């Protein structure tokens, strides 16, 4: 084969395309690497360079997390609200009242989270039972001229309780809770269904 025959070989488009693709990938990689290096430099994400006088990473802390310490158990109820939504107050809030006029022992205060709901929508019942730690409270509804048990109970913890009910009984519905062991009754709340 003569050297002139080599120049007359057919073009190799696959090889030429592959070389062009590698060249483009190399150029794009270099550009993206430069952009990433610039971003790291601007954002300060690079490694520590301690050659400038010995300032360590601890000198540049911007976040301080204190050492956790255990806390004691609460001595009073976590939530103390009166049925009207105002705070129930304590001897500290009202210095003119004596300590003997605080909330009486064995009192159940009931609140409804909603006053009007659609049928079968959740109704939140919460409250405070002073002196009733561990008691089981039965939810009751006023129906047919008497209080009847509703198939929901709540237990008292830290002198507070919470539960929810659902009903499809349209109109005004009156609810209360009653201590299953002592028979002590709460105030009643009214919720309109419909």
Q: What's the rounded mean pLDDT across residues 74-102?
A: 54
pLDDT at 25: 94
Domains of the chain and any CATH numbers:
99-193 (2.60.40.10)
**150-187 confidence digits (pLDDT tens):** 999 999 999 999 999 999 999 999 999 999 999 999 99
The residue among 131, 186, 187, 182 whose CA lies nearest residue 159 is 131
pLDDT at 5: 54
Higher pLDDT, residue 26 or 48: 26
pLDDT of residue 193 exceeding 50: yes
Concatenated DSSP letters for 109-147?
Answer: EEEES-SEE-TT--EEEEEEEET-TT-EEEEEEEETTEE
Residue found under tokens 């009754």: 185
Residue 70 host element (H or E): none
């Amino acid at each position: 084969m003569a050297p002139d025959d080599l120049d007359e070989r057919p073009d190799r488009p696959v090889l030429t395309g592959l070389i062009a693709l590698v060249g483009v990938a190399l150029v794009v990689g270099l550009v993206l690497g430069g952009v990433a290096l610039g971003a790291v430099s601007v954002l300060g994400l690079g490694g520590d360079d301690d050659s400038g006088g010995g300032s360590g990473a601890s000198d540049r802390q911007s976040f301080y997390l204190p050492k956790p310490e255990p806390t004691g158990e609460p001595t009073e109820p976590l939530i103390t609200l009166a049925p009207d939504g105002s705070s129930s107050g304590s001897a500290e809030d009202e210095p003119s009242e004596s300590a003997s006029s605080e909330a009486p022992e064995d009192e159940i205060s009931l609140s409804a989270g909603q006053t009007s709901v659609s049928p079968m929508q959740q109704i939140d019942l919460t409250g405070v039972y002073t002196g009733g730690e561990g008691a089981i409270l039965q939810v009751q509804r006023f129906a047919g001229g008497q209080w009847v048990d509703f198939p929901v109970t709540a237990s008292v913890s830290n002198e507070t309780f919470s539960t929810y009910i659902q009903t499809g009984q349209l109109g005004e519905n009156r609810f209360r809770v009653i201590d299953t062991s002592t028979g002590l009754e709460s105030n009643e709340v009214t919720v309109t269904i419909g």
